[in-house]
């Protein structure tokens, strides 16, 4: 939401085109950088400013090594790596 971008004093980096659920396209401001913190985790990302609610995307969640627990309806730090985020990196073979 725009009021949150103003409160966080985010800088507009560029305009991005998004496709809405009804198929319409719209240009929106892409702001950043945004530091996201959750528990003992953090990451840096950008944010598209549109709508009335804040949505956390899959890439920041993966970067912080967070997991969804649908049965508990909550987001949590990966219990397999509680102290430090874990990532998977695979090298491309020639």
- 56: three-class secondary structure by DSSP: coil
Per-residue pLDDT tens over the stretch 37-80: 999 999 999 999 998 999 999 999 999 999 999 999 999 999 99
Give domain status of residue 94, yes or no: no
Give domain status of residue 84, yes or no: no
Structural domain including 40 reads: 2-77
| Predicted TM-score of the model (pTM) | 0.81
Neighbours of 94 (CB within 10 A): 3
Give domain status of residue 89, yes or no: no
Per-residue pLDDT tens over the stretch 48-59: 999 899 999 999
Give domain status of residue 86, yes or no: no
The domain total for the chain is 1
E strand intervals along 1-94? 11-19, 25-38, 41-48, 66-69, 74-77
The structure tokens 């939401």 sit at 1
Q: CB–CB of 56/67 below 8 Å? A: no
Give domain status of residue 45, yes or no: yes
């Amino acid at each position: 939401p725009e009021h949150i971008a103003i409160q966080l004093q985010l800088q507009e980096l560029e305009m991005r085109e998004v496709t809405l659920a009804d198929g319409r396209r719209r240009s929106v401001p892409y702001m950043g950088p945004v530091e996201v913190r959750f528990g003992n985790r953090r990451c840096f990302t950008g944010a598209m400013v549109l709508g009335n609610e804040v949505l956390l995307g899959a890439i920041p969640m993966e970067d912080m090594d967070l997991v969804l627990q649908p049965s508990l309806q909550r987001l949590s730090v990966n219990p397999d790596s509680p102290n430090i985020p874990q990532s998977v990196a695979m090298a491309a073979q020639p």
